Structure 1
Amino acid sequence: MPGGLLLRGVAPNFEANTTVGPICFHDFLGDSWVILFSHPRDFTPVCTTELGRAANFAPEFAKRNVKLIALSINSVEDHLAWSKDINAYNGEEPTEKLPFPIIDYKNWDLAILLGMLDPAEKDEKGMPVTVRVVFVFGPDKKLKLSILYLALPSRNFDDILRVVISLQLTAEKRVAIPVDWKDGDSVMVLPTIPEEEAKKLFPKGVFTKKIRAGEETFKYFPLKKL
């Protein structure tokens, strides 16, 4: 489908109605990080489990100046009714309130703009459904991460939180993130940083790992020392 966002591209400043009222997306972004994630349909089992998980994770994201906002193809009225199911799934009081808004989706304009439609998967009316998308925007309103799933696989919010933490860390520090990194693990010193500059940036010291005898080494810095 046409549309879509490019990494480092500025988020479109769309207006939308949501479960917390009308929003202007740039105003919603403010100076926060924002995760925008889409869903094929309200009341479906996989989507319900995902929004329940997102609600559980909302305090962890909030501690890191991250807002959540969801999009599903149904109306605000449906979203509010669905919120009761989501809260009930989490074992909470089945209220209409979630710790993030859900965008009212009455036409395909926004999904086309954001590149969220599956050209092969259709609903009962023959219209393309929204895939499972995760967009992460930084405080500069630019796209930092984009993940697209087909409708049936679910997302992993543990990993979404992990990658947001790593995005924030690399935005603040001149470090890179090694494979299978978890919050609290050591990070890698950028190989482009000269030795003398690295000593100033990391005065508490680094440890190295040789990849070939007598040749280049990888430099690591314990995260707890940053």
Structure 2
Amino acid sequence: MSDEQHYTLPRIGDHAPYFEAKTTQGTIKSTDYEGKWWVLFSHPADFTPVCTTEFVAFQEILPELKELNTELIGLSIDSNQSHLAWIRNIEDNFNVKIEFPVIADLSKDVASKYGMIHPNDSGTEANRAVFVIDDKQQIKSIIYYPLTTGRNMAEIVRLVKALQTTANHQVSTPANWTPGDQVLVPPPATQADADARANDDSLEVVDWYLAKKHLDD
């Protein structure tokens, strides 16, 4: 067993592990984001090709996330000086100013708490993890990508919108759902509910267990 701390990997539905960390925008705490949704993502290393394209793309979706009351936080096991130099390099090369904080996690404390290091993938780098955390500090989604594959930003935005739709309306979202599409209502719990559903004009009933509806604007 190494000298590093070992943590139970967080799961969907868990309370987001607390952290206090140094970032490119000063020290932040996870509790600073109470009342907001937030996306915490890790990247393997500064000054690497895939990560650079991702940072540009994350910045591009930041305004849309903010409209959804959602903040964005990056992380890697690099120093704050490395982060700052890389961010300036991105601004010079792509004319893009990175406006979200990036955690300098040299101690691997945050990465360990959130299960961002997979030894069989890389023993020293954080992989490409994405955590979506709601305004009550509950983990709503976890996605992992390998070191070689850049993330799809449109899917991350779609995921946040779907999770917020579920939270606000107590519905589910079907495959390939985007805002404006029909949502899925919970299946009936009793025979009476199933019978009533067949006569509900507000629903598109495919079968007793599967019914769709449009949300009111």
Same fold (TM over 0.5): yes
The reply to whether residue 206 of structure 1 matches residue 203 of structure 2 is yes
Residue 213 (structure 1) aligns with: none
Q: Which residues in structure 2 correspond to 1:2-81 (within 5 Å)?
A: 2-27=7-32, 29-81=33-85
CA distance in 2, matches of 1:171, 1:73: 33
- Matched position secondary structure for 2:118: strand
Counterpart CA distance in 1 for 2:94 and 2:179 is: 25
Task: From the superposition, tell whether residues 76 and 181 of structure 1 become closer, same or farther in structure 2 (CA, over 3 Å).
Answer: same
Q: Which deviations, in whole Å up to 9, do the C-alpha atoms of 1:158-181 show, x marking residues without a partner?
A: 001101101000011121111111
TM-score, scaled to structure 2: 0.87
Q: CA shift at 1:208, angstroms?
A: 2.5
Partner of 1:98: 98
* Structure 2 residues without counterparts, runs of 5 or longer: 1-5
Match for residue 120 of structure 1? 120
Q: Secondary structure at the match of 1:79?
A: helix
Q: 1:30 and 1:220 mapped to 2: Cα distance?
A: 33
Amino acid paired to 2:210: F
Question: Structure 1, residues 135-161: CA drift from partner, whole Å, max 9, x if none?
Answer: 011111011001112211111110011
Return the alpha-carbon distance in structure 1 between the equivalents of residues 155 and 129 of structure 2.
14
Pick which of 171-180 and 37-46 moved more. 171-180
More strand by share: 1
Quote the Cα distance in structure 2 between the aligned partners of 1:120 and 1:190.
39
Which of 167, 175, 181 lines up with 2:163 in the alignment? 167
> Contact 2:197 / 2:205 at 8 angstroms: preserved in 1?
no
Partners in 2 of 1:197 and 1:69 — Cα distance? 46
RMSD: 2.3
Q: Percent identical across equivalent pairs? A: 35
Structure 1 CA distance for aligned equivalents of residues 62 and 20 of structure 2: 23
Structure 1: runs of 5 or more not aligned: 211-215
Stretches (4+) displaced over 4 A: 195-199
